Amino acid sequence: MLDLVEQYGASDLHLKVGRPPVLRVAGELLAQNGWQPLDAADLSRLFCEVSDESQRARFEAQPELDLSCTIDGGSRLRVSASRQRGAIAMTWRRIPSTVPSLDDLRLPSVCKELIMRPRGLVLVTGPAGSGKSTTLAAMIEHLNERKAARIVTCEDPIEYLLEDKRALITQREVGVDTPSAAGAVRAALRQDPDVIVVSELRDMDTIDAALTAAETGHLVLSTLHTAGAAQTIDRLVDVFPPHLQQQTRTILADVLEGILSQALIPTADGQGRVAAVEVLLASTAVRNLIREGKTPQIPGVMETNQRQGMRSMDQALVDLYRRANVTAEAISTVTSNPERLQNLVQGR
């Protein structure tokens, strides 16, 4: 199975009863019709190969499970297991054995500046499968190589295994090392952290804990499944009940350092994907807009402050089109305003 993933350079491998394996290659599904369809016994056996006894017990009790594992040869996998029509179904994602650098990922140079901030909240956002976890790991590794910092992570599940370099890193996994992400963040505050990493801000308790950690002088890094900077701010505020939303805006305006919103664009040669990254930095103007609840004005601020390192998603897409091997058609699938993007491409 893993040889198949390696051969095609696939990002994901989908396994279900009644179908041969299906790969996702450069964003497109590719069925392996030369393989025999998998049966329930195949899926059960494969699940046992990638899980331990405690994980199988959790899956029996609640049949949705995210896990990561190291298999023969040192390969790492992220596995999402569920049940469909009474049988196991899985999606495997192979995790590279080494963390890519920010330069390898061709991310904006501002990423290197944000990760070196002494405190505040830095977020990486984007749809599922947009490379958020990889970007987050690359940022942590950049810090690890350059600063003697105490880093505590809370992950669900742990993907990249990080080795101490200049930093001292503790990696905790939800369901294995801690019962909840919010609890792990609050516990981390008592563990002398400089940096707290949360793999995803999924609920109000975790968001509240992360904001508290940033407010008390720590650098907090996390991800959200949101499509842009303005939507990210609204999501963080809207999870709270109405009577707490203004307070949340005020805290967020004070602690936010930056938001990187990314999307992966297939290259013209079909050999891979590259990231287009929108950048919001917490300037005085941005902080005031957050505090006043005027998030619809934020895209305009990004577009007019490129010299400060900001850029909208449309600006990022045009930049990618001009310097990378991507087509106008490919970038048009990401924008929310195709006509405006076309004008930017044509320099109008």
Whether residue 137 has pLDDT greater than 90: yes
User: What is the mean predicted confidence (pLDDT) over 206-233?
Assistant: 97
SS3 letters across the chain: CHHHHHHHCCCEEEECCCCCCEEEECCEEEECCCCCCCCHHHHHHHHHHHCCHHHHHHHHHCCEEEEEEECHHHCEEEEEEEEECCEEEEEEEEECCCCCCCCCCCCCCHHHHHHCCCCEEEEEECCCCCCHHHHHHHHHHHHHCCCCCEEEEEECCCCCCCCCCCCEEEEEEECCCECCHHHHHHHHCCCCCCEEEECCCCCHHHHHHHHHHHHCCCEEEEEECCCCHHHHHHHHHHCCCHHHHHHHHHHHHHHEEEEEEEEEEECCCCCCEEEEEEEEECCHHHHHHHHCCCHHHHHHHHHCCHHHCCECHHHHHHHHHHHCCCCHHHHHCCCCCHHHHHHHHCCC
Average pLDDT over residues 222-249: 97
**What CATH topology corresponds to 110-345?**
Rossmann fold (3.40.50)
Please check whether residue 237 is in contact with residue 148, taking contact to mean a CB–CB distance below 8 angstroms: no
Domains 2-95 and 110-345 share a fold: no
Q: Is the pLDDT of residue 74 over 80?
A: no
Give the residue-averaged pLDDT of 62-72.
88
Of residues 95, 117, 125, the one with CA closest to residue 222? 125
Domain ranges of the chain: 2-95, 110-345
Under CATH, which number does the domain 2-95 receive?
3.30.450.90
Query: In this model, does residue 40 exceed pLDDT 70?
Result: yes
Which range scores top for mean pLDDT: 73-87, 93-107, 246-260, 326-340? 246-260
Span 315-334, pLDDT tens digits? 999 999 988 778 888 898 88
Residue 205 confidence (pLDDT) above 70: yes
| pLDDT of residue 256 exceeding 80 | yes
Average pLDDT of the segment spanning 152-159: 96
Mean pLDDT for the chain overall: 94
The model's confidence at residue 178, banded by pLDDT at 50, 70 and 90, is very high
What long-range pairs does 236-241 form, CB within 8 A, spacing at least 24? 236/201, 236/207, 237/293, 239/203, 239/204, 239/207, 240/204, 240/207, 240/208
Residue 294 has pLDDT above 70, yes or no: yes
Q: How confident is the model at residue 253 (pLDDT cuts 50, 70, 90)?
A: very high
Residue 26 has pLDDT above 90, yes or no: no
| pLDDT score at 73 | 66
Residue 244, pLDDT score: 98
Q: What is the pTM of this model?
A: 0.91
Strands lying side by side in the sheet with 273-281: 168-173, 150-155, 195-198, 219-224, 120-125, 256-266, 273-281
What band does 348 get if pLDDT is binned at 50, 70 and 90? low
| Per-residue pLDDT at 345 | 81
What average pLDDT score do residues 100-121 get?
Answer: 96
